[in-house]
Amino acid sequence: MGQQLLGVAVVGCGVGVNHIAQGYRRHPDKFRVQALCDIDEARLAVVGNEFGVPRRTTVFDDVLRMDDVDIVDICTPVRLHFRQILAALLAGKEVVCEKPLVGSLAEIDRVIASEKAAAGRVMPIFQYRFGNGVQKAKRIIDLGIAGKPYLATAETAWKRTSKYYEAPWRGRRETERGGILLMHAIHSHDLMIWLMGPVASVFACTATRVNPIEVEDCAVASLVMRSGALASLAATLGSQREISRLRLCFEHVTFESKQAPYSPGDDPWEIIPASPEAELRIAEALADYRPVPPRYEGQLGAYHAALTSGGPLPVTLADASTSLELVTALYHSAATGAVVSLPIAAGHPSYNGWAS
Ligand SMILES: NC(=O)c1ccc[n+]([C@@H]2O[C@H](COP(=O)([O-])OP(=O)(O)OC[C@H]3O[C@@H](n4cnc5c(N)ncnc54)[C@H](O)[C@@H]3O)[C@@H](O)[C@H]2O)c1
């Protein structure tokens, strides 16, 4: 991509506001938000005025025709993502899209095929990866210093009340496609897999106990990783004090995240070496560590560098596919009571959509 200043259209003014305030606006030399799209005219006007966005539209296809829009950033409810991603790729745009990327493994495979044939690429959002605690852990693990993975625990203890479910698409199977496993714990689970490696099998139980909704709001799961390590996931939307916590035990080091619910990747993480030798190797590995800006600012800054250099995207469709494969396996296990082995290929009963 030749030019440095990239034009963006943000579609969906819910979390889209965070993309602007905590992302694009922190990089005024890299991005300009040229257009906003939302079917809610009142929301469109409020957000457009707040951020001084020059063009606003209630029609998604309008942004595809704007020549000064290089990037279409999709922040709409999940049921719309698949169609909007494909349309934006077809229009020759770069695409950013919120989690969960789409509603099935079949859909993500179609997005992967469309990306191969398109000029633009698709960057899924996993902004929690952009925190200095998790980034340091990733560096230590990737350098081989942590050694053999033993066991991980990932907790997502958040709180959602009836107010959250006032948005009519939430809590309904048809429009939200899933509950805590798909919408909330997906972040911690992404971090866990990113650090511990691929999953071999899962056994999960889900329940709806906190709010009167169609999808699950409590879940537990036991995982066997392909390395042989074990992992335990626990998630609820009924916790009076909200936390996210990851604890990862490796041969030479144990990592423990901070507990801030919506920034678990941020510093400080406890990094506990097993020996003075491991401590020295960790200190050497982190000696030239350069901090990343947090969350959306970090992911979108790295995105700009990838677009302008042609280098790999900081988060890819392969990452989103790995995440949705775990979601699919967890839901299939919870629905059938069976242990589910990964990978999940075409032909699997849940390949075209999970039963949440
Ligand atoms: N990464 C994160 O931490 C994070 C946080 C919150 C939400 N999300 C994700 O972002 C997405 C949106 O969630 P939200 O909480 O912002 O929901 P929301 O309901 O608050 O906002 C969605 C907006 O999209 C608009 N919209 C609906 N249909 C549209 C259409 N056809 N064209 C244009 N706009 C349309 C709605 O009017 C609404 O303003 C979901 O996929 C959700 O999972 C991610």
H or E segment to which residue 155 belongs: strand 149-159
- Counting atoms of ligand 1 from 1, which one is nearest the CA of 43? 39
CA atoms within 13 A on the CB side of 181: 32
Using one digit for the tens of pLDDT, what is the confidence trace for 60-96? 999 999 999 999 999 999 999 999 999 999 999 999 9
Rounded to the nearest angstrom, the distance between the alpha carbon of 213 and the centre of ligand 1 is 19
Beta bridge partners of 9: 35, 72
Quote the DSSP letter at residue 127.
G
Distance 150 CA to ligand 1 centre (A): 37
The per-residue pLDDT for 3 is 78
Each residue's pLDDT, cut to its tens digit, for the chain (356 residues) gives 777 999 999 999 999 999 999 999 999 999 999 999 999 999 999 999 999 999 999 999 999 999 999 999 999 999 999 999 999 999 999 999 999 999 999 999 999 999 999 999 999 999 999 999 999 999 999 999 999 999 999 999 999 999 999 999 999 999 999 999 999 999 999 999 999 999 999 999 999 999 999 999 999 999 999 999 999 999 999 999 999 999 999 999 999 999 999 999 999 999 999 999 999 999 999 999 999 999 999 999 999 999 999 999 999 999 999 999 999 999 999 999 999 999 999 999 999 999 77
- Please report the pLDDT score of residue 95 as a whole number: 98
Q: Label residue 55 left, alpha or beta by phi (over 0 means left) and psi (-120 to 50 means alpha).
A: beta
Pocket mutation for ligand 1, best pick of 39, 55, 60, 76 (most atoms within 8 Å of C-beta): 76
Task: Compute the distance from residue 98 Cα to the ligand 1 centre, in Å.
Answer: 8
249 phi and psi, to 5 degrees?
Answer: -105, 120
Query: For the whole model, what pTM was predicted?
Result: 0.97
Distance 101 CA to ligand 1 centre (A): 12
Distances, alpha carbon 203 to alpha carbons 9, 199, 222, 230, 341, in Å: 41, 11, 5, 12, 9
What sign results for the dihedral spanned by CA atoms 238, 241, 244, 247?
negative
Whole-number pLDDT of residue 103: 95
What pLDDT score does 139 carry? Answer: 98
Cα 17 to averaged position of ligand 1 atoms, centre (Å): 10
User: What distance lies between CA 187 and its chain's CA centroid?
Assistant: 5
Compute the mean pLDDT over every residue in the chain, rounded to the nearest whole number. Answer: 97
- Distance of CA 38 from the midpoint of ligand 1 (Å): 9
Determine the pLDDT at residue 353.
Answer: 95
Contact 207, 218 (CB under 8 A): yes
Ligand 1 pocket: which residues have CB below 6 Å? 11-15, 37-40, 43, 60, 75-78, 80, 98-99, 125, 127, 167, 183
Atom of ligand 1 nearest to the CA of 37: 33
pLDDT at 56: 98
Q: Are 320 and 85 in contact (CB under 8 A)?
A: no
For the chain, give the percent of residues with pLDDT over 70: 99
User: Tell me, what's the pLDDT at 1?
Assistant: 72
Question: pLDDT at position 355, please?
Answer: 77
Contact between 29 and 5 under an 8 Å Cβ cutoff? The reply is: yes
Give the per-residue pLDDT at 348.
Answer: 96
